[in-house]
């Protein structure tokens, strides 16, 4: 099982304590996170050789981000050092009917201003078998989009499996630009991961009989979405997470995996949310792990959904769980009873 390489931006996460709002807090807790970094940490926790690639300043805040990854066993040897700032995001956790809010402060970050010549992808992919990126990376800047394209091309030339989580962020770029840029990248992608809104936001492919605001999810509708994505981009598999939002605190959570014309659906979990940021990333990491382990497709899907279910119970971006914990939940033990 070769190394998994992920590429993106790791940010400083600043969040008020508990459920306090931005306008009422006097202090912020500081941690680190970001889509592709979250995937690398999850995989490292599962025992996978995982590397994260980005650009970070040489100063202490940049080093703190590197140190955070290292403590989980993520390979940071290909992180380029330079630039002036680490991207920041502020998180206000929602509660009940009040949604969570994210405010980005990442303009002119080191990775946003990185150059294509900063990254030697042929060297980076030595010994690797998998490359993962998300739609956040090319949304950061035109430079980052060009670097992402370079990485995808090099990954395919090296024979790696390439996965992409569409991860549309309306605060980073408009739908029209996202559709254009991401369409150009999809030719390199083997496995596409999306949530219940991404395919619509990025590619205009809508699920029928579905209303994400009310939590109404149609299995047939998303099977058709996956089929349409596969036909348009020739993906090997499409995975779609299915979140039924009851409130900011409670969701129903499941997923679908589409492969060779067949749709697989996971069991559904009723989750009470501690921290939902990174939920999709933990699903992606779980799916990658299952496929690297050559689990049957249904088993890979169940592992991914269970991993993500557990992530919703953990503070911070990173999913700090073991494979044994995930497998226990996936096998049916969802009691939450004390383990002694």
pLDDT averaged over 10-residue windows placed end to end, the chain, 340 residues: 93 95 94 97 98 98 98 98 97 93 94 97 97 96 97 98 94 92 97 90 83 69 92 96 92 94 95 92 97 97 97 95 96 74
Give the domains, in start order, of the chain with CATH numbers: 3-330 (3.40.1190.20)
Is 281 noted as a catalytic residue in this protein?
Answer: yes
Minimal CA–CA distance to 136: which of 243, 286, 232, 280?
A: 280
Count CB neighbours of 142 within 10 A.
11
Strands 191-194 and 161-165, by their bridges, are: parallel
Residue 187 near residue 153 (C-beta atoms within 8 A):
no
The reported pLDDT for the residue numbered 333 is 78
Q: What pLDDT score was predicted for residue 195?
A: 85
Q: At what angle do helices 60-70 and 35-45 cross, to 10 degrees?
A: 30
Nearest to 130 by CA among 150, 167, 156: 156
pTM of the complete model beyond 0.75: yes
Question: Phi/psi of residue 34, each to 5°?
Answer: 165, 150
Burial 316-330 (b: 16+ CB within 10 A, else e): bbbbebebebbeebb
CB 278 within 8 A of CB 15: no
Q: 63-92 b/e with 16+ CB inside 10 Å = b?
A: eebbebbeebebbbebbbeebebbbbbbbb
Report pLDDT for 102: 93
- Check if the beta carbon of residue 251 is closer than 8 Å to that of residue 280: no
- Look at residue 334 in the predicted model and tell me its pLDDT: 75
Looking at the chain, the number of H-run helices and the number of E-run strands are 11, 15
CB of 112 closer than 8 Å to CB of 54: no
H or E stretch including 81?
strand 80-81
**pLDDT of 124:** 98
Given this model, what pLDDT does residue 49 score? 97
Which one from 281, 317, 324, 333 is the annotated catalytic residue?
A: 281
């Amino acid at each position: 099982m070769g190394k998994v390489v992920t590429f993106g931006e790791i940010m400083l996460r600043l969040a008020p304590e508990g459920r306090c709002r931005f306008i009422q807090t006097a202090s912020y807790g500081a941690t680190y996170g970001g889509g592709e970094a979250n995937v690398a940490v999850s995989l490292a926790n599962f025992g996978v050789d995982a590397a994260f690639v980005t650009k970070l300043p040489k100063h202490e805040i940049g080093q703190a981000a590197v140190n955070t990854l290292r403590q989980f066993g993520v390979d940071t040897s290909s992180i380029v050092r330079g630039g002036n700032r680490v991207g920041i995001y502020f998180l206000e956790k929602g509660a009940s009917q009040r949604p969570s809010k994210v405010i980005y402060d990442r303009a002119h970050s080191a990775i946003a201003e990185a150059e294509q010549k900063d990254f030697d992808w042929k060297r980076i992919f030595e010994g690797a078998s998998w490359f993962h990126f998300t739609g956040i990376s090319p949304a950061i800047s035109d430079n980052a989009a060009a670097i992402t394209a370079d990485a995808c091309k090099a990954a395919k030339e090296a024979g790696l499996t390439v996965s992409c989580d569409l991860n549309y962020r309306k605060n980073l770029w408009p739908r029209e630009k996202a559709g254009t840029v991401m369409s150009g990248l999809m030719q390199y992608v083997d496995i596409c991961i999306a949530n219940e809104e991404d395919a619509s936001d990025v590619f205009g492919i809508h699920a029928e009989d579905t209303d994400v605001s009310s939590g109404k999810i149609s299995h047939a509708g998303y099977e058709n979405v996956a089929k349409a994505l596969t036909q348009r981009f020739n993906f090997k598999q499409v995975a779609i997470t299915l979140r039924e939002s009851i409130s900011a605190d409670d969701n129903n959570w499941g997923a679908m995996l589409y492969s060779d014309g067949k749709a697989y659906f996971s069991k559904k979990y009723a989750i009470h949310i501690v921290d939902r940021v990174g939920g999709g990333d933990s699903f992606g990491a779980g799916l990658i792990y299952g496929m690297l382990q050559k689990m049957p497709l249904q088993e890979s899907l169940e592992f991914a959904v269970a991993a993500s279910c557990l992530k919703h119970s953990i503070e911070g971006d990173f999913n700090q769980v073991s494979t044994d914990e995930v497998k226990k939940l996936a096998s049916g033990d969802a009691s939450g009873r004390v383990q002694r």
